[in-house]
Amino acid sequence: MLLARLLEEKLANLYRAGKINGGVFLGKGQEALSASLGMALKKGDIFAPLIRDQAGRLAFGEDILDAVRTYLGSKLGPMRGREGNVHRGLPREGRYAMISHLGAMISAVCGGLMARRFQGQTGVVGATCVGDGCSSTGAFHEALNLAAVEKLPLVLVVANNQFAYSTPNDREFACKNLVDRAIGYGIEGHTVDATELDACLDVVGRAVERAREGRGPQMVVATLLRLAGHGEHDDAAYIPEALKNSPTGRDCLKVAECTLMERGWASAADLEAWREETLQQVEEAVATVQREPAPDPAEETWCALSTQELDDTFRA
Ligand SMILES: Cc1ncc(C[n+]2csc(CCOP(=O)(O)OP(=O)(O)O)c2C)c(N)n1
């Protein structure tokens, strides 16, 4: 959580300094939920993150350099300098590259799970995280219905951060809680307060286990507030102060740090030392990547990154 937070703060600074082309999207406030998902998955599983899942990506094994290289356009990164920010992945490690269209990754994960089933692989879980905005799309419905009918081991985490960009929940859907939809699809649904790391580890962890045990798709609806704009180009002026000051507006990282201290698992000095170490890790990664070359358009192989030739040779 800390690494994701500090890495993204650095990326936001680089964006403001004009060093990043394209947008920068922060998962500030979503780290507990995202990290819990990344931690619950095992090697061999599928994970399709969304824009606010830096913490989950790291927990599922992404190298911090892969993130920095993609944002800074280094040709040594998994996307070889062709992508500006979050649409990176490494399919052979089960890390799917994100499609921007809301909800589109649910189908991609269902496809991956069907493929594993046809190959006779068992015990595999496929997970993806979407926003509340995604839940109003046709892609969401089609994919979830298919997953339910096929009883796929899919874990769908819906991060309800109260807004779809600037559209508030009451203009997005009319049901009481998005988890109510699970009943309509015939799948199991769970809710969690995503400001509490403990609760996220428990609820998301159990959902992943249930999917692995063959109980079919699991939907987790998490409540939180996005502690940033949709992207760094958005000042989020539409988020009311009262909501920011409510329990939903708590910062999960601060809550987790307080819990660690209350339980005597870490002291204030430990937390400070972790912060310093992590900051140094981020600074070193950025300094390394800033010295790396951009792709040379005349010399590149412009075939799709998902081809075996390019996927298999990445850090082979
Ligand atoms: C199918 C589709 N429609 C519209 C968009 C444009 N769009 C990108 S993000 C977004 C809002 C997303 O809402 P949510 O998932 O709740 O994320 P938030 O930024 O609020 O965290 C929209 C409408 C898109 N990417 N795909």
How do residues 94-124 score in pLDDT, each as one tens digit?
999 999 889 999 999 999 999 999 999 999 9
Rounded mean pLDDT, 224-249: 97
Among 98, 75, 70, 100, smallest CA distance to 85 is for: 70
For residue 278, pLDDT over 80 is answered with yes
Q: Is the CB of 29 under 6 A from ligand 1?
A: no
Please state, for a pLDDT cut of 90, what percent of the chain lies above it. 90
Cα of 87 from ligand 1 centre, angstroms: 14
Roughly what angle, to the nearest 10 degrees, separates helices 268-290 and 2-16?
Answer: 50
pLDDT band at 152 (very low <50, low <70, confident <90, very high): very high
Rounded mean pLDDT, 237-256: 98
pLDDT band at 313 (very low <50, low <70, confident <90, very high): confident
Which letter, b or e, does each residue of 285-304 get, where b requires 16 or more Cβ atoms within 10 Å of its Cβ?
bbeebeebeebeeeeeeeee
Kindly report, residue by residue over 78-95, the tens digit of the pLDDT. 999 988 899 999 988 999
pLDDT band at 273 (very low <50, low <70, confident <90, very high): very high
Cα of 57 from ligand 1 centre, angstroms: 20
Q: Is the CB of 249 under 6 A from ligand 1?
A: no
**How far does Cα 78 stand from its chain's mean position?**
17
Q: Is the CB of 108 under 6 A from ligand 1?
A: no
Q: How far apart are CA 149 and CA 187, in angstroms?
A: 9
Rounded mean pLDDT, 118-134: 97
**How far does Cα 268 stand from its chain's mean position?**
28
The two counts, helices (H) then strands (E), for the chain are 12, 7
Q: Is the CB of 134 under 6 A from ligand 1?
A: yes
pLDDT band at 53 (very low <50, low <70, confident <90, very high): very high
pLDDT band at 224 (very low <50, low <70, confident <90, very high): very high
Q: Are the C-beta atoms of 24 and 232 separated by less than 8 Å?
A: yes
Q: Are strands 188-193 and 218-223 parallel, antiparallel or unpaired?
A: parallel
Atom of ligand 1 nearest to the CA of 137: 1
Q: Are the C-beta atoms of 143 and 107 separated by less than 8 Å?
A: yes
Rounded mean pLDDT, 152-160: 98
**Which residue, by CA, sits nearest to atom 24 of ligand 1?**
101
Q: Are strands 167-168 and 126-131 parallel, antiparallel or unpaired?
A: unpaired
Cα of 28 from ligand 1 centre, angstroms: 17
For residue 306, pLDDT over 80 is answered with no
pLDDT at site 282: 98
For residue 218, pLDDT over 80 is answered with yes
Domain 2-18+28-292, classified CATH 3.20.20.370, yes or no: no
Which residues touch 315 (CB under 8 Å, ≥6 apart)? none
- Greater model confidence, 303 or 137: 137
Cα of 33 from ligand 1 centre, angstroms: 19
Mean residue pLDDT across the chain: 96
Among 131, 68, 71, smallest CA distance to 102 is for: 131
Q: Are the C-beta atoms of 282 and 62 separated by less than 8 Å?
A: no
Kindly report, residue by residue over 20-44, the tens digit of the pLDDT. 988 999 999 999 999 999 999 999 9
Kindly report, residue by residue over 58-67, the tens digit of the pLDDT. 999 999 999 9
Which letter, b or e, does each residue of 147-183 get, where b requires 16 or more Cβ atoms within 10 Å of its Cβ?
bbeeebbbbbbbbbbbbbeeeeeeebbeeeebbebbe
pTM given for the model: 0.97
Q: How far apart are CA 314 and CA 66, in angstroms?
A: 11
Rounded mean pLDDT, 13-22: 94
Atom of ligand 1 nearest to the CA of 100: 25
Q: Are the C-beta atoms of 288 and 65 separated by less than 8 Å?
A: yes
**Which residue, by CA, sits nearest to atom 13 of ligand 1?**
164
